Amino acid sequence: MYNGGALIMRRHLISLNDLSYADLCQIIQRSTDFSKGNVEIQQLLVGQIIGIYFKKTSTRTRTAFSAAALRMGAQIISYGPNDLQINTGETIEDTTNVLSGMLDCLVARTAGEWSEMQMFASQNKMSVINAMSADEHPTQALADLTTIKNHFGKIENIKVLYFGEGNNTAAALALALTKFPGAELHLRTPQGYGLKPEILQAAQQYAQISSAKIIENHDPFDLPNDIDVIYTTRWETTGTSKEDPCWKERFQPFMVTSRLMDSYSSAVFMHDLPAHRGEEVEADVLDGPASIAFVQAKNKMYSAMAAMEWCLSSSSN
Ligand code: CP
């Protein structure tokens, strides 16, 4: 966007693959500072106009970005699934061309093809933040790492056991956590529902550089000795169904139970929410003393603040 004659180049946050370790640390540090009330936030985004476009349902992410923008002094324009002319056949390229002349940042949940998110980010006049696509949920991982850092005082050397589908939340967690030295991500996913090979490969490369570990297998009874965090997500991401009529039988052994939690007496429980008690997690676990899932949900607002600030701290040409 032209601003006082200077061309402002905006940054995007589309995938954690695009963030260096230094950028990731900076965003997480800022997010933890926001969560502790250490920063005067009211003026940080004054004058910015943020579009919030959610093609799919959301309780946390949409509210987190809207509340964060308003608390930081920005103004927002909110678009639900039926509001943009994309619905009547206008192309995403034309939509982006128009919105980037008027908005400073677009927070978008497409939950569709990766190319859709990339098309939104095919310009640099307006920042684009991926608020969840089918492949990756990067801002969820920012909230997750903020929660881990606040709870343990560090992310390095933290060991996470992830139970359930290798979905977009798991993908983001894998791409983020493996950048931290000594961190370990142990995924136990049902056969046929693991991480996409390209995500696993990228995370393995990050792990090699940082001396982290990522290990995926499909046996819920093959468990590591020592774990700090047990993490799960809903089995039907954004309510999507699975083709296999017997899929629930495959997922059943991957439920996080009190018995599993008892195997790791000092571990905390995390969940990106929304939850289905009695499916991916027992109610006693989600609502129990080891659960930090609702703190994690609140941290989505602080990580949204950090993400928008990072994107909009643009350089002039
Ligand atoms: N965790 C998460 O993304 O929640 P919402 O779908 O409610 O935004």
In the chain, what are the domain boundaries? 2-136+300-310, 138-297
User: Who lines ligand 1 at CB under 6 A?
Assistant: 58-61, 132, 140, 272-274
Rounded CA-CA distance 102/106 in Å is 10
Determine which residue's CA is closest to atom 4 belonging to ligand 1.
60
Q: Quick one: which atom of ligand 1 is closest to the CA of 61?
A: 8
| Assigned CATH for 2-136+300-310 | 3.40.50.1370
What pLDDT digit, counting tens, does each position of 256-293 carry? Answer: 999 999 999 999 999 999 999 999 999 999 999 999 99
Q: Which residue from 62, 44, 50 is spatially nearest to 10, judged by alpha carbons? A: 50
Report CA(62)–ligand 1 centroid distance (Å). 8
Q: Return the CATH superfamily for domain 138-297.
A: Aspartate/ornithine carbamoyltransferase (3.40.50.1370)
pLDDT band (50, 70, 90) for residue 111: low
Cβ-in-10-Å burial (0-12, 13-18, 19+) of 94 comes to exposed
Q: Quick one: which atom of ligand 1 is closest to the CA of 59?
A: 7
DSSP state letter for 314: P
Question: b/e per residue, 150-181, with b = 16+ CB within 10 A?
Answer: bbeeebeebbbbbbbbbbbbbbbbbbbbbbbe
Q: Which residue from 256, 273, 270 is spatially nearest to 220, judged by alpha carbons? A: 256
Mean pLDDT of 116-129: 95
- Of 62, 132, 137, 280, best ligand 1 pocket probe by most atoms within 8 Å of the beta carbon: 132
pLDDT band (50, 70, 90) for residue 2: very low
Rounded CA-CA distance 121/116 in Å is 9
Count CA atoms closer than 13 A to 22's CA, side-chain side. Answer: 0
- Of 60, 129, 137, best ligand 1 pocket probe by most atoms within 8 Å of the beta carbon: 60
pLDDT band (50, 70, 90) for residue 5: very low
- Of 58, 107, 234, best ligand 1 pocket probe by most atoms within 8 Å of the beta carbon: 58
Residues 6+ apart with CB under 8 A from 245: none
What pLDDT digit, counting tens, does each position of 62-100 carry? Answer: 999 999 999 999 999 999 999 999 999 999 999 999 999
Q: Do 2-136+300-310 and 138-297 show the same overall fold?
A: yes
Report CA(61)–ligand 1 centroid distance (Å). 5
How much of the chain is in helix, strand and coil states, percent to nearest 5? 40, 20, 40
What pLDDT digit, counting tens, does each position of 247-258 carry? Answer: 999 999 999 999
* Full-model pTM: 0.96
Report CA(315)–ligand 1 centroid distance (Å). 31
Look at residue 46 and tell me whether its pLDDT is greater than 80: yes
Q: What percent of the chain has pLDDT over 90?
A: 90
Rounded CA-CA distance 315/182 in Å is 34
Look at residue 122 and tell me whether its pLDDT is greater than 80: yes
Report CA(37)–ligand 1 centroid distance (Å). 23
Q: Quick one: which atom of ligand 1 is closest to the CA of 297?
A: 1
Report CA(63)–ligand 1 centroid distance (Å). 9
Q: Quick one: which atom of ligand 1 is closest to the CA of 137?
A: 3
Report CA(169)–ligand 1 centroid distance (Å). 10
Q: In what order do the strands lie in the sheet with 6-9?
A: 2-3, 6-9, 315-316
Torsion sign across C-alpha atoms 216, 250, 220, 156: positive
Mean pLDDT of 127-131: 98
E runs forming strands in 249-307: 268-271
Q: Is 229 helix (H, G, I), strand (E, B) or coil?
A: strand
Look at residue 53 and tell me whether its pLDDT is greater than 70: yes
Report CA(237)–ligand 1 centroid distance (Å). 9
Report CA(58)–ligand 1 centroid distance (Å). 5
Q: What percent of the chain has pLDDT over 70?
A: 95
DSSP state letter for 237: G
